[in-house]
Amino acid sequence: MFNTFINALQLPPLYKPSATNFWDEEHISQQMLAAHLDKNFEGASRKFTFIDASADWIKNNLPPRQFPQLLDVGCGPGLYTERFCSLGYQVTGIDFSKRSIAYAKHSAQKQTLAIDYHYQDYLTMDFYSAFDLATFIYCDYGALSTANRALILQKIYQALKPGGRLLLDVFSLAKFQAFAEARTWEHFPLGGFWRAEPYLEIKNCVKYPEHVTLEQYVIVTDTRSDAFYIWNTYFTPDKLEKETTAAGFRTIALYGDVSGSTYSAASPALALLVEKQFAA
């Protein structure tokens, strides 16, 4: 047990994944869903007021009459997809959390919203020229490794019709500069986000080269210790545009976020609207 704990504390190589898809663990996925559905909490999804403003801005600038078929990549429990559907889009959502997709399907059924949901790793999706618009929102892109970022852009490019558009957002260098390196610990005698039983949480926040950060959580209970890794890559507009251009996209516009705010060097995020240039 001691050696397992010590090994869990070691810093992993860049972009090493957690040992398990912890977002699908029974307890953690329940906590994640609750966080998504907390309208005033930004730890899983953005606050509902921002989501409403963002969906309205997307409708006004990428209207459903012009971009009717919409793919929401990493849709979670359907916070954006339901709004998109209500605004007139024909919506498909894809996510790799069973609990989130189950909730999204049930919620859509209750509201008689015709949304097509898929429980699938979006890195393996195989849509072909099916969509006019794709959204990849809440900085999920930067949580991927360099190779997987290239892969998801390839998959989205493949899924879009010629002239189809992609809106995605990432964290900026201003956000990277504000990231504080630290190691902290906290005891949860009644359980918490990571485990239902009592546990000790050791959190290690570390900056890696090339504007990458790691939030490493080592969770210790009476019987086990586990390490969970949350990676983030931070971008300049030029860096993000270089990656989207390499995938075949043409830049349409740069924003400070997915509600269309003006970008500045102080913005904690940036959003890019790009267009598929050629038929696959």
Per-residue confidence band for 8, with pLDDT thresholds at 50, 70 and 90: low
Q: In the chain, what are the helix, strand and coil shares in percent, each to the nearest 5?
A: 35, 30, 35
Per-residue confidence band for 21, with pLDDT thresholds at 50, 70 and 90: confident
Shared domain check, 120 and 256: yes
Tokens of 57: 């801005």
Q: What is the pLDDT of residue 4?
A: 58
Determine the average pLDDT of the residues in 59-83.
Answer: 96
Question: Please, are residues 232 and 213 in contact by the beta-carbon 8 Å criterion?
Answer: yes
Question: Please, are residues 267 and 259 in contact by the beta-carbon 8 Å criterion?
Answer: no
Shared domain check, 185 and 82: no
Q: How many domains does the chain have?
A: 2
Shared domain check, 182 and 60: no
Determine the average pLDDT of the residues in 119-139.
Answer: 95
Amino acid at 131: F
Shared domain check, 186 and 223: yes
Residue 53 lies in a domain: yes
pLDDT higher than 80, residue 6: no
Residue 36 lies in a domain: yes
Q: What is the pLDDT of residue 3?
A: 57
- For 129, the domain range is 28-172+234-276
Q: What is the pLDDT of residue 149?
A: 98
Shared domain check, 69 and 194: no
Shared domain check, 239 and 226: no
Kindly report the CATH number assigned to the domain that includes residue 42: 3.40.50.150
Report d(CA 14, CA 25) in Å as an integer. Answer: 24
Shared domain check, 108 and 65: yes
